Amino acid sequence: MTTTDQDITPQYRAARPAARVRASTGTLPLFPTDLSSFLDLLRQHGDAAYTFLFAYATSHALLFGLFAGYAAFAGALKVSTLIIVFWIGSFVGDVVRFYLGRRYGPRLFNRWPRIEKMVNIAARLTDKHAILMVLFHRYPHGIRGVAAFAYGLSNLSWPTFLVLNFIAAGLWSVVIVAVGYAFGSVSEKLMNDASSGFGIVTLVIFLGLSWILSKKLESVVEDSAQPQAGKK
């Protein structure tokens, strides 16, 4: 019984170049030179990848999270495990920042004017929209990594913060993994081989557009804080 290209799954088709490398050398290259080899490296070292992504999720940064969703579509990582890793990592990261903000106060940022500026913006927005801030601060670039410090400086209670933070972390993890997974599904229709140059270019463009969108959200957040700043 012969197997045609139509019978081969996208995940297997993406892994074929890496399989050829293993057949000729007995192992994967130390530094993958194409996308399919990198995905195969993730399959071999999943535990290390999840540990790295857990640490990465504490900062709410988007790019690796989106790529992880793409890797899940390719079969290199598990969707359910990714969501749990991102959920817990994101939740823990904000709990630590909230504690530091409440424990040490504004003096924590005296040496870093840029961070102090973003914390002040987040604090002003928290005074106006505490629930919305906790639920959605993970998406705008710049503010997502410091907003929890501002919550620690605010009047937001520990129980309220923990509940909202737990819900928000779950929503964020599902959204990030789902968007990356959806990109993988769409991009599969645009290319025949995930290791092709076109596939890499498409992935880079997608990640670049995600970064630009997060920067635009940051500008919107800063602009929305200006009226309140003028009143003080």
Residue 176 CB-density burial (10 A; 0-12 exposed, 13-18 middle, 19+ buried)? buried
**Mean pLDDT for each consecutive 10-residue tract of the chain (232 residues)?**
48 45 46 74 90 92 87 94 96 96 89 85 82 86 85 92 96 93 79 54 64 58 52 44
Give pLDDT, residue 197: 58
Kindly report the CA angle at 219 between 217 and 220, in degrees rounded to 5?
65
Inter-residue contact 85 to 54 (CB < 8 Å): yes
- Residue 21 included in any domain: no
Give pLDDT, residue 8: 47
Give pLDDT, residue 213: 59
Give pLDDT, residue 126: 85
- Residue 26 included in any domain: no
- Residue 4 included in any domain: no
Residue 80's domain spans which residues? 35-231
Residue 196 CB-density burial (10 A; 0-12 exposed, 13-18 middle, 19+ buried)? middle
Q: How many domains does the chain have?
A: 1
pTM: 0.72
C-alpha distance from residue 10 to each of 73, 152, 187 (Å): 9, 47, 11
- Residue 45 included in any domain: yes
- Residue 79 included in any domain: yes
Give the Cα separation of 229 and 218 in Å (integer).
Answer: 16
Residues in the chain: 232
- Residue 20 included in any domain: no
- Residue 12 included in any domain: no
- Residue 47 included in any domain: yes
Give pLDDT, residue 223: 60
Give pLDDT, residue 61: 79
Give pLDDT, residue 113: 87
Q: Which amino acid is at 52?
A: F
Give pLDDT, residue 139: 81
